Amino acid sequence: MKRSLLALSLLASLPFAASAADGISYNYVQGGYTAINGSGPDADGWGLGGSVAVHPNVHLFANYSNQNIKHTGIDFDRWRVGVGYNTSVSQRTDFVANAAYERLDAGGGVNVDGYSVEGGVRSALAPHLEGYAMVGYQDGHHYSGDAYGRLGATVKFNQNWGVNADVRFVNGGGNEWFVGPRFTF
């Protein structure tokens, strides 16, 4: 009976035994320029983000941006806080699944709360290049759900410093992008 229990425990822990693929780190902070371009008014500003691995297969992440709607005096803040799961599918590629709470605060009592879920792959494409491709869905209070695709890459200058670029293509319009330096620790 004890052997069966031990074997069952080991089998249950197998999905958690893998760690991040070679060349991929879930510990970073970044900041830079962010913009939204699409069917509505364009907006741009700055953003901050980061991630920290709390387990070989689990990471927490957060993003914040402040953007101004062009040709107006209106600005808004966006928050995204979530948890992700990653597991190696090859020596240099991880499968990643993320779930996040999202909030938009446009001032004057205009707040929108929602969530997003996404899944995809993140890969060390070369010693100094990492890329990722994700598909996701976002929904929330006061707006209908939208599917999106997200592509990104990080060019690494050394073990700690690089530049990250990310673009999110939203089904309902309003494509978003970010570019800026990343510090990996």
Residue-wise pLDDT tens for the chain (185 aa)? 445 444 444 444 444 444 578 889 999 999 999 999 987 789 999 999 999 999 999 999 999 999 999 988 889 999 999 999 999 999 999 999 999 999 999 877 788 999 999 999 999 999 999 999 999 999 986 567 889 999 999 999 999 999 999 999 988 777 999 999 999 99
**Residues of the domain holding 160:** 19-184
**Contact indicator for 98, 118 with CB cutoff of 8 Å:** yes
Residue 92 pLDDT? 96
Contact 124, 89 (CB under 8 A): no
Q: How far is the C-alpha of 159 from the C-alpha of 108, rounded, in Å?
A: 44
pLDDT value for 142: 59
The residues near 77 (Cβ < 8 Å, ≥ 6 apart) are 64, 65, 66, 104, 105
Query: Is residue 169 situated within a structural domain?
Result: yes
pTM: 0.85
Number of domains in the chain: 1
pLDDT at 61 (0 to 100): 98
pLDDT computed for residue 174 by the predictor: 79
With residue 104 as reference, give the H or E element that holds it. Answer: strand 93-105
CB count within 10 Å of CB 137 equals: 14
For residue 55, give both structure tokens.
Answer: 């387990």
Asked, for residue 6, whether it belongs to a domain, the answer is no
* Residue 98 within any structural domain of the chain: yes
The verdict on residue 11 lying in a domain is no
**For residue 81, is it within any domain?**
yes
Angstrom distance (rounded) from CA 32 to CA 172:
25
